[in-house]
């Protein structure tokens, strides 16, 4: 099992929000969706993988993850007016919690997941999942999907606006499905998303590519 | 909830503004001094290479193309047309990039070349 996990790590990737940039590109992301707040910054030596730091602060469970994350582009389809991708995103690091019986406990943690997306200049579909496992603090599976459209098509450098619906599924939660209508504003190297979920939580994501 | 509705309202205004200001090329042409480059400049004595590229769907794609070509000393400017899937490479006087190098740069950036045309 350990060998399999190590193998997955080195094959690993990250999906949604374009987890791999152009050769020599840096990306900074911050995501806040009610379950967690995360920061991820990565460097892409080639257009096929990126490597970087991922920090997550989970509200439910009150634990943190600090990890080295590798995102691999497994497959890309480039069409005249469309692009589709499959990524593997994985990380290894430590998790920390002082919640309930955890007395400032620190655990090694591993996560991996697949992500896929298809996008034209007007339509967008994506799916991603992730398994996260540590010795005692974290053991969960999560998945989410998105569908969206752009009400108008703008040139490069102008403001792009997307309206999307995100459905997330967390089997361990009492209400295990959540629905988040959101707005994505995209201009040049920056992307901002905001939404409000069926659980009454705000979503606020920001991505900047250098 | 009130904050969210405010964000929705402001975004709607934003969309309305953006739709009103989407650039329309049907009824006019740009002068050579204002060709709407994505970055850089046009060297009047340089060349222009048009490349049809597959997979250009967003500003991150356009930014990637722009960054990799502007690192080349032969290039003075770049224009990326996402709707047409077209990349216009403006070269400096007396400089050129061969088709093989252009294809390598675009493929290494994560996209595919359909055709290359020179003026």
**d(CA A95, nearest CA chain B) in Å:** 32
Three-state secondary structure readout of A96-146? EECCCCCCCEEEEEEEEEEEEEEECCCEEEEEEEEEEEECCCCEEEEEEEE
Question: To which residue do tokens 């020599």 refer?
Answer: A24
Report the CATH fold assignment for B35-118.
Alpha-Beta Plaits (3.30.70)
ipTM, two decimals:
0.80
Q: What is each CA distance from A167 to A30, A62, A182, B62, in whole angstroms?
A: 19, 23, 11, 29
Q: Where are the alpha helices (DSSP H) in A12-55?
A: none
For the segment B49-95, what is each residue's pLDDT rounded down to a tens digit? 999 999 999 998 999 999 999 999 999 999 999 999 999 999 999 99
Domain boundaries defined on chain B: 35-118
Q: With both helix axes pointing from N to C terminus, report the angle between B99-108 and B59-70 in degrees, rounded to the nearest 10.
A: 130
Across the interface, which of B7, B8, B110 has its CB nearest the CB of A47?
B110
For the segment B99-115, what is each residue's pLDDT rounded down to a tens digit? 999 999 999 999 999 99
Instruction: Show residues of chain B in contact with A81, CB under 8 Å.
Output: 57, 85
Domain that holds residue A191: 2-209
**d(CA B75, nearest CA chain A) in Å:** 18
List per-block mean pLDDT (blocks of 10 residues) for chain A, which spans 210 residues.
Answer: 39 54 93 90 95 92 92 96 95 88 85 96 96 91 95 92 94 86 92 93 93
For the segment A103-158, what is each residue's pLDDT rounded down to a tens digit? 778 999 999 999 999 999 999 999 999 999 999 888 999 999 999 999 999 989 89
User: What is the domain-level CATH number for residue A117?
Assistant: 2.40.160.40
CB B51 within 8 A of CB B102: yes
The total of structural domains in chain A comes to 1
Q: How many CA atoms lie within 13 A of A36 on its CB side?
A: 17
Task: Give the H or E element holding residue A154.
Answer: none
In a 3-state reduction of DSSP, which class is residue B7? helix
Across the interface, which of B54, B67, B109 has its CB nearest the CB of A79?
B54
């Amino acid at each position: 099992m350990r060998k399999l996990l190590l193998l997955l790590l080195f094959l690993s990737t990250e999906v949604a929000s374009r987890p791999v940039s152009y050769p020599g590109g840096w990306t900074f992301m911050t995501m806040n969706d009610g379950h967690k707040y995360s920061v991820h910054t990565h460097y892409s030596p080639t257009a096929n993988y990126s490597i970087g730091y991922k920090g997550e602060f989970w509200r439910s469970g009150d634990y943190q993850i600090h990890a080295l994350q590798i995102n691999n582009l497994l497959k890309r389809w480039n069409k005249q007016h469309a692009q589709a991708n499959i990524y593997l995103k994985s990380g290894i690091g430590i998790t920390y919690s002082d919640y309930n019986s955890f007395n400032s406990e620190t655990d090694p943690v591993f996560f991996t997941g697949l992500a896929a997306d298809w996008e034209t200049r007007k339509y967008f579909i994506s799916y991603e999942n992730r398994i996260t496992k540590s010795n005692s603090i974290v053991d969960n599976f999560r998945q989410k999907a998105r569908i969206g459209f752009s009400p108008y098509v703008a040139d490069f450098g102008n403001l792009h606006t997307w309206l999307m619906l995100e459905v997330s599924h967390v089997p361990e939660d009492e209400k295990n499905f959540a629905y988040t209508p959101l707005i994505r504003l995209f201009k040049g190297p920056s992307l901002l998303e905001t939404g409000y979920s069926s659980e009454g939580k705000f979503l606020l994501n920001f991505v900047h590519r250098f | 909830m009130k904050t969210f509705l405010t964000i929705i309202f402001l975004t709607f205004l934003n969309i309305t503004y953006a739709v009103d200001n989407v650039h329309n090329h049907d009824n006019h042409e740009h002068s050579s001094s204002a060709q709407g480059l994505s970055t850089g400049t046009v060297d009047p004595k340089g060349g222009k290479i048009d490349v049809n590229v597959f997979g250009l769907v967003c500003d991150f794609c356009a930014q990637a193309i722009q960054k990799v070509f502007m690192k080349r000393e032969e290039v003075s400017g770049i224009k990326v047309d996402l709707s047409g899937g077209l990349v216009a490479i403006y070269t400096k006087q007396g400089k050129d990039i061969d088709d093989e190098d252009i294809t390598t740069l675009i493929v290494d950036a994560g996209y595919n070349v359909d055709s290359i045309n020179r003026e």
